[in-house]
Amino acid sequence: MEETQKPALKLKRLQEMPIQGKRVLVRVDFNVPLKSGAVSDDSRLRAALPTLRYLIQAKAKIILISHLGRPKGKPEEKYSLKPVAKALEKILETPVAFFPECVGPEATKAALNLKEGEILLMENLRFHAGEEKNDSAFAQDLASLGEVFVEDAFGAIHRAHASTVGIPKILPSCVGFLVQRELEFLDRVIGNPARPFVAIIGGAKVSDKLGVLNKLLDRVDTLLIGGGMAYTFLAAQGISIGKSLLEKEKIADAQAVIDKSYAKKVTCLLPADHLAVSEIKPGVQVSVTQGMAIPEQLIGADIGPHTIEIFLEEIEKAKTIFWNGPMGVFEIPEFSSGSRAIAEAMAKAGKNGAVTIVGGGDSLAVLSQGGLSEQMSHCSTGGGASLELLEGKTLPGLSAISS
């Protein structure tokens, strides 16, 4: 584990901690989608199962804390974790109690009353402003629930919040199996990937991905760029993008990425054609452009069939593939073919022995829609955290645990 981050970080692992009979406070990432008062995608709950099962077997008293959504420091019923407790109980096949608060005398009492192997899920951390402010008193209140702290919320470790950096200052701390697995797979990308190494980067904005693009150019053999961000790259090359999404202030940065790819002898591919529309909405008439240029009154909504063909050729040759960000407006079926094609090609590459790593909520949603999640080597539960790790940043949640 020590080598998965910068050498200065030494992370104690869950399996190295004495936990039997102890109250173990676990920071999980149960920020899951809810629909009609029920969990509509339980992948993040399933990702926590190895840690939870280990704790049950070790006869720990398990207290789970998580955030859900953005309730802005006060209770909101639609962001309650109560439905999550029911969903977790079902997939874990063991009782999961829910407590309607995460701090205070009654919350502490509920934690103290736990028996060995029992699980208690506390209410949303973000119902308190102290969570996102990393308030020391709030962190102290949370820490009073347990005797040992396990960081297993990879999707939150890039945030300096009370539950991620405050608690480790107070309790003996370690990383759970989910975080260990995330670091292990991302280390393959950062460290010594099997080659050819192909990175596929999409999503709406260049500004969100500049850091990781520059870092990946030091490591990859091929970089495939799609999604809304591709139009800023095309504009940097002097190619007409019609009314497509454009970050004018990032044109120079996009050009710098292209220049660096030439200097590093990295194959950098932009969309060769597009699905173009007059407006982004279901049922609209879709046309395929004849080349890279998009007509003046049209908007690029997805990569075109020729681009899919080119991108898939690169994926087929790869031994390591990292994907973050969709190729188009995948939420609308007419504009999902590019993202679906990438997902299917990665599943095929995985069957042929390639290491396939996917990060970012939208990319994971594409996999989920196609039933392909389990065919990947690794699906990262933390898009932001995985990108920051790839950029070489030290994540606050890991630094706080490091001895």
Active site members: 44, 205, 361, 384
User: Which residues share a beta bridge with 224?
Assistant: 200, 269
Q: Which of 157, 206, 213, 134 is nearest to 27 (CA)?
A: 157
Q: Which of 174, 143, 135, 170 is nearest to 11 (CA)?
A: 174
Q: Distance between CA 324 and CA 387 in Å, rounded? A: 9
Q: Distance between CA 328 and CA 202 in Å, rounded? A: 8
Could you tell me if 186 and 395 are in contact, meaning their C-beta atoms sit under 8 angstroms apart?
no
Torsion of the alpha carbons at 114, 116, 118 and 124, rounded to the nearest 10: 60
User: Which residues share a beta bridge with 358?
Assistant: 323, 379
Q: Which of 380, 382, 311 is nearest to 348 (CA)?
A: 311
User: Which residues share a beta bridge with 322?
Assistant: 199, 357
Residue 364: which region, alpha, beta or left (left: phi > 0; alpha: psi -120 to 50)? alpha
Neighbouring CB atoms inside 10 A of 317's CB total 14
Could you tell me if 174 and 11 are in contact, meaning their C-beta atoms sit under 8 angstroms apart?
yes
The label of the residue with tokens 């439905």 reads 83
Q: Distance between CA 264 and CA 311 in Å, rounded? A: 20
Q: Which of 147, 105, 177 is nearest to 381 (CA)?
A: 177
Q: Distance between CA 267 and CA 251 in Å, rounded? A: 20
Q: Is 244 helix (H, G, I), strand (E, B) or coil?
A: coil
Distances, alpha carbon 290 to alpha carbons 177, 235, 370, in Å: 49, 17, 29
- Give me Rg for the CA atoms of the chain: 22
